[in-house]
């Protein structure tokens, strides 16, 4: 049994509580939030409540932590947790900068503990099914793909941190990294990116990115936090292969439109993205294995991809993408 502490007990912590609840090999024994009312949310479920995460990290019963803090706190809290001997599942985005990502990876290597970033889209059944279809090869090569992720400016975050690009990175980091990370997972790192975007006091918040693989494939993504906080959230994709289109459009379930055959809805892998990701984190701990679906180095590379995209928006130039070990 892996004993877990959750640090940061508001928005996304609910998905972590639900995921651990579904996992037979883990239980939440501790939680922490600077807001006592939110810390109490975990105490109501039998967990010890802390107001200072350093006290939770000193709790010898805690084996692993979920870091559900605002993004600007991810790097320091992750390094502290690893140094305290805990395994870490840290929410996406890994950190505000790839340099902080390097620091987190170095701490995990020094500690010899699991570090995984909660890139839930890699574990989301529709996105898992798309990867299986593309890699299965039955419909030929991918010719084009468009991923979109749109919503209203976040109104829910504690002290409004999500609207402050110095603390959240803006939509390009907080929202769009879901698709950028998945595109890198599905297609590999592009050679370079081209991007246009709108930058306001909330950061780069409305952007279109083209991923250049030097092979003619047209891979693109579009993301925005529109000014109305009531704008409905939507996440879609459309992937055109030589002999089929695979589409998730919010109107009907994931659908394959093959050439000269009726459309069909493929069978999806079980579970939901959050529960699947948490089950994988716990499996890595109990088996002494490194994360294979979402290795921390790939999450750091996704930060580098976002940095290249931000540079492309600001310069109007195509920007090369670097990946792999820190230089
Ligand atoms: N995977 C996803 O789909 C998904 C969805 C939403 C958010 N997120 C990510 O999860 C992270 C948290 O986002 P959220 O929406 O839950 O934010 P939130 O503002 O709702 O919750 C953050 C919580 O952390 C607490 N907190 C702040 N500083 C603290 C400290 N020093 N010690 C202890 N607690 C502290 C706050 O009081 C608040 O309760 C962000 O990085 C965000 O990008 C991921």
pLDDT in tens, 288-307: 999 999 999 999 999 999 99
Pocket lining: 8 vs ligand 1, CB cutoff 6 Å? yes
pLDDT of residue 252: 95
Please name the residue that has the structure tokens 């898992």: 128
pLDDT of 326 above 60: no
CA torsion sign for 76, 77, 79, 80 is positive
Pocket lining: 35 vs ligand 1, CB cutoff 6 Å? yes
Residue bearing the CA closest to ligand 1, atom 18 = 157
**Greatest C-alpha distance within the chain:** 62
119 vs 41: which has the higher pLDDT: 119
- DSSP structure class, residue 94: -
CATH fold of 129-270+303-320: Dihydrodipicolinate Reductase; domain 2 (3.30.360)
Across the range 260-274, mean pLDDT stands at 95
Query: Each residue of 47-94: pLDDT tens digit?
Result: 999 999 999 999 999 999 999 999 999 999 999 999 999 999 999 999
* Pairing label, strands 244-248, 2-7: unpaired
Neighbours of 305 (CB within 10 A): 24
pLDDT of residue 144: 98
For ligand 1, mutation pick of 5, 7, 10, 302 (most atoms within 8 Å of CB): 10
Q: Which atom of ligand 1 is nearest to the CA of 38?
A: 39
pLDDT of residue 314: 98
Across the range 7-20, mean pLDDT stands at 96
pLDDT of 228 above 50: yes
- For CATH 3.30.360.10, the residue range(s) in the chain are 129-270+303-320
Residue bearing the CA closest to ligand 1, atom 31 = 34
CA-nearest of 64, 28, 32, 29 to 51 is 32
Multiple choice CATH, 2-121+275-290, 3.30.70.1400, 3.30.2130.10, 3.40.50.720, 3.30.950.10: 3.40.50.720
pLDDT of residue 281: 98
The confidence band for 192, taking pLDDT boundaries of 50, 70 and 90, is very high
Q: Which atom of ligand 1 is nearest to the CA of 118?
A: 1
For ligand 1, mutation pick of 9, 11, 229 (most atoms within 8 Å of CB): 11
pLDDT of 43 above 90: no
Task: Say how many Å lie between the CA of residue 10 and the centre of ligand 1.
Answer: 6
Q: What residues have CB less than 8 Å from 276, skipping those under 6 apart?
A: 120, 123, 124, 125, 269
Residue bearing the CA closest to ligand 1, atom 41 = 71
- For CATH 3.40.50.720, the residue range(s) in the chain are 2-121+275-290
pLDDT of residue 327: 40
Query: Each residue of 85-133: pLDDT tens digit?
Result: 999 999 999 999 999 999 999 999 999 999 999 999 999 999 999 999 9
Across the range 273-286, mean pLDDT stands at 98
């Amino acid at each position: 049994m892996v004993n877990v502490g959750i640090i940061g007990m508001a928005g996304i912590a609910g998905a972590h509580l639900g995921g651990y609840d579904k996992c037979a090999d883990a239980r939440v024994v501790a939680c922490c939030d600077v807001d006592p009312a939110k810390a109490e949310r975990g105490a109501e479920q039998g967990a010890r409540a802390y107001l200072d995460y350093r006290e939770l990290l000193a709790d010898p019963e805690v084996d692993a932590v979920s870091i559900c803090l605002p993004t600007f706190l991810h790097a320091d809290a992750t390094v502290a947790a690893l140094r305290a001997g805990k395994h870490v599942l840290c929410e996406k985005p890994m950190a505000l900068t790839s340099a902080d990502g390097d620091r987190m990876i170095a701490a995990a290597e020094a500690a010899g503990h699991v570090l995984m970033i909660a890139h839930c889209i890699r574990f989301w059944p529709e996105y898992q099914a798309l990867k299986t279809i593309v890699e299965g090869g039955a419909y030929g090569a991918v010719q084009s793909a468009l991923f979109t992720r749109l919503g209203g400016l976040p109104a829910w975050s504690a002290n409004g941190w999500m609207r402050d690009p110095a603390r959240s990175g803006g939509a390009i980091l907080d929202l769009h990294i879901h698709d950028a990370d998945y595109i890198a997972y599905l297609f590999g790192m592009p050679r370079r990116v081209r991007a246009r975007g709108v930058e306001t006091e909330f950061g780069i918040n409305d952007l279109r990115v083209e991923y250049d693989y030097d092979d003619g494939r047209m891979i693109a993504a579009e993301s925005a936090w529109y000014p109305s906080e009531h704008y409905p959230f939507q996440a879609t994709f459309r992937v055109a292969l030589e002999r089929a289109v695979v589409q998730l459009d919010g109107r009907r379930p994931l659908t394959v439109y093959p050439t000269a055959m009726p459309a069909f809805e493929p069978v999806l892998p079980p579970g939901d993205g959050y529960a699947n990701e948490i089950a994988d984190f716990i499996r890595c701990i109990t088996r002494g294995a490194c994360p294979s679906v979402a290795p921390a180095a790939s999450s750091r590379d996704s930060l580098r991809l976002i940095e290249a995209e931000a540079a492309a928006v600001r310069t109007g130039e195509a920007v090369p993408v670097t990946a792999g070990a820190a230089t």
